[in-house]
Structure 1
Amino acid sequence: MSNIFSPGSFGRPVAILTAVCLAALALPLSFSAGALATPAIGRELAGGPVEMNWITNAFMLTFGSLLMAAGALADRFGRKRLFAIGVSGFTLVSLLLGFAPSILIVDLLRAIQGVAAAAALAGGTAALAQEFDGRGRTRAFSLLGTTFGLGLAFGPVLAGFMIEHFGWRAIFATGAVVGVLALLFGVPQMRESRDPDAQCIDWAGIATFTGALSCFTFGVIQSSESGWSSPLVVGFLLGAVLLAAAFWVIETRVARPMLDLSLFRYPRFVGVQVLPIATCYCYIVLLVVLPLRFVGVDGYSEIDAGLLMLALSAPMLVVPLAAAMLTRWISAGVISGIGLLIAAAGLYWLIAGLADGTSHAVIAPLLTIGVGAGMPWGLMDGLSVSVVPKERAGMATGIFSTTRVAGECIALATVSAILAVLTQARVLSTLKPHAIPAEVSEAAARLAAGDLDRASALLPDVARATLQHIYADAFGLLLGGLIVVTLLCAITVFVMLGHTHADDDASAKHGLRELRERVTTSDREHA
């Protein structure tokens, strides 16, 4: 194993780290850039609200539901192999997206891209864990986290520039270029590694978990078009409940579960799962809904919208590191809770900043939200393993990663559906009684998806400025709901994680005791 930045470390380990970081850069770029490109894709390919929602949700659904399965496959069949397959698939799909003839093909390719992204991330991080140890491993994963921050921060700006000068299809070419670089300079340097103790994969757990998440996402997204009382929507949501129940039963009975649900007996571990949920609702969803508003409703160009989004995402480059330094004096739980309070304040400020439409007045609120969300962002992974016994750390990390990515998928679907419901209610209260309900429903769904032009065409008797005002009112109510969720999560974090220093000390003592036992065992074997 290697200790990065030490003498003689430059070479194969650094090439591997570079390859994994390049792959990690492509993933958030694909997410944030795809969100900004949604209005342009909808305009060119004439996509409906449901199809436009799937541009982002299809990627997040497959990525989130298959991340744990990909980790198991990497341990059993080889980390290098899975990383190479994932990056190759991601690169190929990125190229194909540039030639997609319809929005349906875009959605399907985005789903496949999410599968490839799960394989690339799981294989790459597992390979890094095998290649580095000690401080070198810590620094390697810190660089990996910084790379994710770079992708989130500059993805909207890059996407805006590419869309404005070359069209939306060009943004996916950037992912392909990054993937080719990772394949050429990193994969040949990798050593293959497997877990010799890897057991049979929990296919039943994987199938029911993926099925439950898929049914829920399908049902919630379809509700904007069909209505919540639609048999199709009800069927999807009922299927999600049944599959979730089946997943719970399977995971409590199978010998090697995908997710060890017994970890939820630790209250502080439950508290840690609140952190990614909170950042989903105060940060991640804004990366998707704000570009739709800036471009599709307020009429900003993609590059101007990307520059505004930079105020939200740029703090992720520095705030997580600063929060980690603060843990010398303040517990990680308290820092995280304070960060969520700051994010909630930023959301409240954003309501005022958007009251008269989008302007540079939103920059300060967006910075505030980014700073607040960034405080728990860099601490969550460490907390996920510090609040459970050391021997459960691996499974704890897996559950946390699944909660984070699956939570993002659920948050995006629910927020989009809520915005559609709020928008439709405002439209109905504004229109005359003789308005055709079908047209109202479609117009509201279009407006909620950021397609003001089509909504205005469907409702020619309603002034464009009136539709913008309707959307602004609905968006303000949505932000109010996000504030409530963020505040509730902050309270939960303070209650469950407000005293984490004691837990850290206990974890450290446990680790020291385990190290002594290993040394004693090793001495006996040598003797």
Structure 2
Amino acid sequence: MPHSLPPAAPLRGRFDRFLILGAVCLAGFVLPLNFTGPPIATPAIAAELGGSPAALTWMTNAFMLAFGSCLMAAGALADGVGRKRVFGIGIAAFGVASSLLAFVPDLFWLNVLRVVQGVAAAAALSGGNAALAQEFHGAARLRAFSLLGTTFGIGLAFGPSLAGWLTQTHGWRSIFLSSVVVATAATVFGLPRMRESRDPAAAGIDVPGSLAFTAMLAAFTAGVLEAPARGWGHPLVLAALIGSGLLLALFVRIEQRSRRPMLDLALFRYPRFIGAQLLPIGTGFCYLVLIVLLPARLIGVEGYGALQAGLLMIALSLPMLVVPFVGAVASHRVPPGVLCSGGLLLAAAGLVWLGRADPGAGWIAPLLLIGIGAAVPWGLMDGLAISVVPKERAGMAAGIFGASRVSGEGVTIALASAALATFLGAGLQAALPGHAGRVAEIAQHLGIGDLAQARALLAPTLDPATLIGVYERAFGHLVDALAAATTVTAVLVLSLFGGASAHDIANTHEAPAARADGRPERVADCGAHG
């Protein structure tokens, strides 16, 4: 007999559902805020707590790895023990971790608590997404998830601006205290109005798969981040990268043999499902990388204050307030695949322009163009991703897309950071032939915007224009590489989604939830036909 959900409680009133949506959107706002906000405070954190460039880099990557690697497990847990329960525990734990981060004594405990914060964020987002899918149906669900995606984007976009203002006026610790306020509001206003729901066919957390997936991401990220300093052929780097490949193969094998996998690998037979997972990777290349790396250049290399840098970043962020809604409306007339790929191509053009523009005021126009292009798919991709599975597996759907989004973004940022350090190393070798032994260390400091320490490693009297010139050329190479990667992603998205209309995608037929043995009878047909 196929499994089914128990009879649903009466639908909430319009006001209650609005508050539930608002609470999940608050979580969707504050979680990415804690990803993009702290990087702009890196100079202030380094000045107070110290730490090597690698340790400071892990301040961002520790959160991203924990967040991305736990999303699928959290989605499965939400389906099994209750979506409301997982959301409530996650948002409460996130608030507690954020409050503790405001009082950390050193960088070690900051990075440890960033891991805890990332795990809690995964529970809050997966549980909230899955709960939201039970409250809204049909076109209303698509609109609700589009709004959630937009608030997620706004949190990412305005993190640097808010963090710059908080750092300059109240100190870097206030960034984490502000998260406590938002998390508390989401708990108080949304949690009491949520109805509990779960999937009776859920089989709990796939512990072996979760561990393999987390270890794979950690090994790959560590290998990529260590490569510029040690060399791509270093035994430790090779071991980490080869190990990540073996762990990926192990993860696939575990999921193939699992009775109730947290990642239904059969979904990857369908082009539109793959296309939905590529969208956050494309926006990672053209948008997220700049959100993280550009503040380091503005503050550390160009000499901007934290607030001034945050204000300039508004040019990149501002389109997120309007463009996703425009894209959602336009998708009723223009195929979503065409809209998304067109937006990515627009962002790629902006990246090419950015690499050739003068820093400061000359960046405003290309940053606006990049922001507009990235915002087009941003408002559509959550709704597109959630439409490909039955609502009974909403936790799985939220977990898969959330994991591909956050882990994909984390990997693109790690790759971009490694590429920038590699370009810097090559430039420094050519510009400073007498300092070959310290090139890797200098490149690491320069890569995180620590121009003062990079100069100190050479000679206090060195003309900083030499290092600034090396950085500008390396950054130009990086944005050209990002533009190429964004263009390739845009072409793939268009080929996978084809010309299918929003109506065709929203009404993709779904299969029964599961057979008697617990495995999917047939997944949603999200192929690019019709």
TM over 0.5: yes
Which residue of structure 2 lines up, in the alignment, with residue 447 of structure 1? 446
Per-residue deviation, residues 92-147 of structure 1 (Å, max 9, x unmatched): 11111111222222111111110010011111222222334456544543443332
Which residue of structure 2 lines up, in the alignment, with residue 410 of structure 1? 411
Structure 1 gaps, min length 5:
515-527
Which residue of structure 2 lines up, in the alignment, with residue 471 of structure 1? 471
1:280 partner letter: G
> Do the aligned partners of residues 349 and 2 (structure 1) sit closer, same or farther apart at CA in structure 2, a change above 3 Å counting?
farther
| 2:97 is the counterpart of 1:97 | no
Which residue of structure 2 lines up, in the alignment, with residue 519 of structure 1? none
Out of 98-107 and 16-25, give the one that drifted further: 16-25
Out of 194, 197, 206, the position equivalent to 1:193 is: 197
2:440 partner letter: S
Identity %: 53
Out of 336, 343, 346, the position equivalent to 1:342 is: 346
Which residue of structure 1 lines up, in the alignment, with residue 92 of structure 2? 88
Q: Compare relative contact order (CA 8 Å, sep 6+) and give the higher one, 1 or 2.
A: 2
1:402 partner letter: A
For 2:173 and 2:454, locate their aligned partners in 1 and report how far apart those are by CA, in whole Å: 25
SS in 1 for 2:355: helix
> Do the aligned partners of residues 295 and 273 (structure 1) sit closer, same or farther apart at CA in structure 2, a change above 3 Å counting?
same
User: Counterparts of 1:348-367 in structure 2 under 5 Å?
Assistant: 348-354=352-358, 358-367=359-368
Which residue of structure 1 lines up, in the alignment, with residue 217 of structure 2? 213
Whether the aligned pair in 1 keeps the contact of 2:95 and 2:183 (CA below 8 Å) is yes
Structure 2 gaps, min length 5:
1-8, 513-530
For 1:181 and 1:378, locate their aligned partners in 2 and report how far apart those are by CA, in whole Å: 24
Shift of 1:183: 2.7
Whether the aligned pair in 2 keeps the contact of 1:2 and 1:13 (CA below 8 Å) is no
SS in 2 for 1:352: coil
Per-residue deviation, residues 43-84 of structure 1 (Å, max 9, x unmatched): 222221111211111111110110010011112122222222
For 2:178 and 2:77, locate their aligned partners in 1 and report how far apart those are by CA, in whole Å: 28
For 2:133 and 2:394, locate their aligned partners in 1 and report how far apart those are by CA, in whole Å: 14
Which residue of structure 2 lines up, in the alignment, with residue 457 of structure 1? 456
| 2:47 is the counterpart of 1:43 | yes
User: Counterparts of 1:357-506 in structure 2 under 5 Å?
Assistant: 358-384=359-385, 398-433=399-434, 435=435, 437=437, 439-460=438-459, 462-501=462-501, 504-505=503-504
1:198 partner letter: A
For 2:331 and 2:19, locate their aligned partners in 1 and report how far apart those are by CA, in whole Å: 32
> Do the aligned partners of residues 402 and 84 (structure 1) sit closer, same or farther apart at CA in structure 2, a change above 3 Å counting?
same
> Do the aligned partners of residues 130 and 199 (structure 1) sit closer, same or farther apart at CA in structure 2, a change above 3 Å counting?
same
Out of 22-31 and 114-123, give the one that drifted further: 22-31
Per-residue deviation, residues 382-434 of structure 1 (Å, max 9, x unmatched): 3335678999887555433321111011111111111111101111111133x
Which residue of structure 1 lines up, in the alignment, with residue 509 of structure 2? 510
Shift of 1:148: 2.0
Which residue of structure 2 lines up, in the alignment, with residue 522 of structure 1? none
Shift of 1:448: 0.8
Out of 145-154 and 475-484, give the one that drifted further: 145-154
> Do the aligned partners of residues 87 and 386 (structure 1) sit closer, same or farther apart at CA in structure 2, a change above 3 Å counting?
closer
Which residue of structure 1 lines up, in the alignment, with residue 296 of structure 2? 292
For 1:348 and 1:209, locate their aligned partners in 2 and report how far apart those are by CA, in whole Å: 35
> Do the aligned partners of residues 279 and 150 (structure 1) sit closer, same or farther apart at CA in structure 2, a change above 3 Å counting?
closer
Whether the aligned pair in 2 keeps the contact of 1:36 and 1:292 (CA below 8 Å) is yes
Per-residue deviation, residues 238-281 of structure 1 (Å, max 9, x unmatched): 21111111111112222211211122222333233322211110
Which residue of structure 1 lines up, in the alignment, with residue 164 of structure 2? 160
Which residue of structure 1 lines up, in the alignment, with residue 176 of structure 2? 172
Number of residue pairs the alignment of both structures matches = 503
1:359 partner letter: G
Shift of 1:312: 0.7
Which residue of structure 1 lines up, in the alignment, with residue 522 of structure 2? none
1:469 partner letter: G
For 1:190 and 1:507, locate their aligned partners in 2 and report how far apart those are by CA, in whole Å: 25
Shift of 1:466: 0.9
| 2:131 is the counterpart of 1:127 | yes
> Do the aligned partners of residues 403 and 232 (structure 1) sit closer, same or farther apart at CA in structure 2, a change above 3 Å counting?
same
